[in-house]
Amino acid sequence: MLKLKDLRCEYRINPIGISTGEPRFSWKIETDKNDSIQSAYTLQISSNEDFNGEVQNSGMVESGESHLVVFKGLKFSSSEKWYWRVKINDNNGEESPWSETAFFETSLLDKNDWKAVFISGENESAASSSAGTVFRREFNISKKIKIARLYASAKGVYKAYCNGCRIGSDVLAPGFTEYGSRILFQTYDVTELLKQGANVLGFMAAAGWYKGDFIYGWDLQRNVFGKCTAVIGQLLVKYEDGSSETLITDSSWTFSKAPVVFSEIYHGETYDARLEEKGWNEIGFTGKDWKPVLVESPDLCALRPADGLPVREHEHFKPKKYFTTVGGDRVIDFGQNISGYVQFRVKGKAGEKVKLRHGEMLDAAGNFYTENLRKAKQTIEYILKGGEEEVYQPHFTFQGFQFIAIDEFPGDVNPDNFKAIAVYSEMKPIASFKSSDTLLNQFISNVSWSMKDNFVDIPTDCPQRDERLGWTGDAQIFVRSAGLIMETAPFYAKWLKCLTISQLSDGSVPHVVPDILIKNDENGNLLPRNAGSAAWADAAVIVPWMVYTYFGDIRILEEQYPSMKKWVEYVHSVAQDGVIFNTGTQIGDWVALDAKEGSYFGATPTDLSATAYYAWSTELLARSAEVLDKKEDAAQYKELHRNIVQAYGKEFFTSTGRIAARTQTSCILSLQFGLCPPHAKQRTMDTLVKLLEENTNHLTTGFLGTPFACRVLADNGRLDLAYELLFKTDFPSWFYQITKGATTIWEHWDGLKPDGTMWSPNMNSFNHYAYGSVYDWVFTDVGGIETEGPTAFKNIILRPLPGGPLSFVESSYESPYGTIFLRWEKTGTNLKVDIKIPPNTKARLILPGTEKVLGSGKYSFNVSGVNNGKV
């Protein structure tokens, strides 16, 4: 039995609106034979589902590739729908039947395809307004519809409607980008919403990231990208008779004020239901005060088809607890810290109000705590229209919260009338991990939730306070773990395009992407940009390499290579003798516990950490050049890497092998990136162990040292100490946070101190994934599943390292080739291991005392005499 399943085009099942005319195809193999490898494939693409019209046939292509396969020589035009199928041959001489038929449809791929214009209900006098606007246009359809597509976007955030129905389920569309160069538009199937005869299209839009409040320093600024919200829409209707028609946003549309009288990403939303005009997005509506729109701009150069992942609603949470605090607040605890919003049902008189505030924590006295939000208000106000029961949830904002305080509510509060809705980018979950230890299982959940909560269209630092920015350092620190939790390649691909745009002409990379930390002086001159810090700007190199490693997406590597090279060349140009990176503003080992009192900057010298990252990025750039067959670049950057390593050894180590900077992070980075001179490696490891002992085997590391701490210990013979660090429950440790009720990862080890007091509210997020980046060690070493090199798990390493209090671990990973499964169970000194390897891959199994290469299939092994991962 040989057959194919899970057919995908550009990572998606039957996508419409793909952003490329050269799509890539993926499939997985199902077989009852072990050691199965694809030897060839045949791919067909047809203009109709029966494959009896125009058919493009690849012929039999001898290849084992089944992930992101390009049909060479084919390029598709805008708004084309095509069907495809595939069959394969394997190494056992078997040929599969044709797969089920799948399809894909291209978006508008050329700016000249656009006939619509941006329309607005605002002029520049509305720059300070955070109110919403609604738009509408009636039109007629006289023929039988075959398919209909709406292409839509906004400067701001928007929702679209057709004949009274919401179009699609995207949240906060079109997303957060460098709007000056990239405004993404969505493609919606509206075939079933249209009808012959009269129809109406509508939009509702608000400020969003485009013109709303952003933090700059400790102040709020707005209008970073523009002063007026605007929408654009183009409806393409194809008829059964072969003809087509297009409706566009233009001067014929009208607008009015929305019931959303205030909406901001940081601050929340005010909705006055009394201002609702029933039927505004339906046929036959004759409202008051609707005016002709303003044509905001005919310039469409920034429009691009959406190429990331849409933000959608996901998990729903019912109240876990309802109580009144000592301070008198009525509070609902939803039991999980999330990004999203609350939906509620309410009944009352017109003009009565619901007011909710959102927060992550209760203070030591059990009172509702919001000081760490800084200037973000995170407040929802809903003014009732009166009459029947009303249901509301925010339209154009999201909050970071576990608790809500109900400041106003008509009548008695019934917690059953509330639910919290998690909102994040629609990433495919691809991993599972469970163990015999409940705290470890909770930690895995906490990491996953901090990832989801901070992957709201871009990789942010936090989802609650007046920040929520795409900090590049946080992104690169967590990218490995992210790729072992969810399918993140399309998510990062979209963000990396913005990174390239944000990159300065000299090659330095801003601290945040999109770069909103831009400000002019009183004369309108651009102030110096916040850019060029090592480990933050290194995201330009590290993120695309890691995405390539785990998802095999060479197109991302190709697209980002110029940016990667530009960053390394920038450092080369400003580094001392081209090798020691000791210039510019460096953030360093952020919020490390070895920082001076009141400081966020760890004790590790920034010239050491900056040079360490410079070496790593140069090494990864050389590897990328090899993958892309850029032989001269590969040779050049290999040589540069050797020079940096040599200089690092001379600068930061004595002749006797003592590391000059005696901090945990200095040792960890030197060992992790292979920077210790040969004679200094063991002494550096001994120093790290000694530094841990001096802190009763606790970490004092910050953002740079923490991700690699357990890995360095395990790789250098101290697996026992790595497990000890992981399983500690006192302060500071990962599990300490869980003992304090954490359901996400905190920004600070001591966000909530053992005595119940909190870190300064100036910088104290309880939903920050950076310290959760140890997940990649937990999954790959404790769970035992890792890709061997940058092969996207076509070559697999299965190497569980039992230790600590664990009696079993069960992990699985949905790779591009199928499910990889590993379960180990330890009884005394006996280790039982069960594994599953998907077709079209091979795995190197490494167990204590044995190593072998296995083909696909299911296997079981028993090893005796095992203690702490060793025989």
- Cβ-Cβ contacts under 8 Å for 272 (sequence gap 6 or more): 259, 261, 383
The two three-digit tokens of residue 120, written as one number: 């607005």
Burial of 239 (0-12, 13-18, 19+ CB in 10 A): middle
DSSP annotation string for 558-603: HHHHHHHHHHHHHHHHHSBTTTB---S----SBT-TTSPTT-SB-S
127: left (phi over 0), alpha (psi -120 to 50) or beta: alpha
- Residue 732: cis peptide before it, omega within 30 degrees of 0: yes
Distance CA 394, CA 839 (A): 46
Give me the half-sphere count of Cα atoms (radius 13 Å) on the Cβ side of residue 489. Answer: 22
Contacting residues for 329 by C-beta, under 8 A, at least 6 apart: 367, 368, 405, 406, 407
Contact assessment for residue 90 and residue 40, using Cβ atoms and an 8 Å cutoff: no
Classified as helix, coil or strand, 457 is: coil
Q: How many residues does the chain have?
A: 871
Contact 364, 756 (CB under 8 A): yes
Q: How far apart are CA 502 and CA 516, in angstroms?
A: 9
Per the listing, tokens 């162990």 go with 689
SS (H, E, C) 684-751: HHHHHHHHHHHCCCCCCCCCCCHHHHHHHHHHCCCHHHHHHHHHCCCCCCHHHHHHCCCCCCCCCCCC
Question: Strand pairing of 102-106 and 16-18?
Answer: parallel
Q: Checking DSSP bridges between strand 303-305 and strand 183-189, what pairing results, if any?
A: parallel
Integer Cα distance of 756 and 740 in angstroms: 9
Q: Which residues contact 99 (CB under 8 A, 6 or more apart)?
A: 3, 4, 5, 7, 27, 85, 86, 87
d(CA 257, CA 260): 8
Please give the positions annotated as active site: 467, 747
Query: Measured between alpha carbons, how far is 853 from 863 in angstroms, rounded to an integer?
Result: 17
The angle subtended at Cα 790 by Cα 789 and Cα 793, nearest 5°, is: 85
What DSSP character marks residue 780? I
- Which SS3 state, helix, strand or coil, does residue 60 take? strand
User: Distance between CA atoms of 291 and 768, rounded to whole angstroms?
Assistant: 45
Please enumerate in sequence order all residues whose Cβ is within 8 A of that of 639, keeping only pairs 6 or more positions apart, or say none.
none
8 A C-beta contact, residue 811 and residue 741? no
In degrees, rounded to 5, the angle at the alpha carbon of residue 98 between the alpha carbons of residues 93 and 99 is: 115
What would the two tokens of residue 552 be? 């095999």
Instruction: Show the tokens assigned to 122.
Output: 């605002």
Among all chains, which residue has been given the structure tokens 């290194």?
A: 538
Cα distances (angstroms) measured from residue 70 to each of 37, 116, 190, 232, 458:
19, 32, 29, 32, 28
Return the DSSP state at 212: S
Token digits of residue 794: 């076509």
Find, among 703, 725, 701, 704, the residue nearest to 713 by Cα.
725
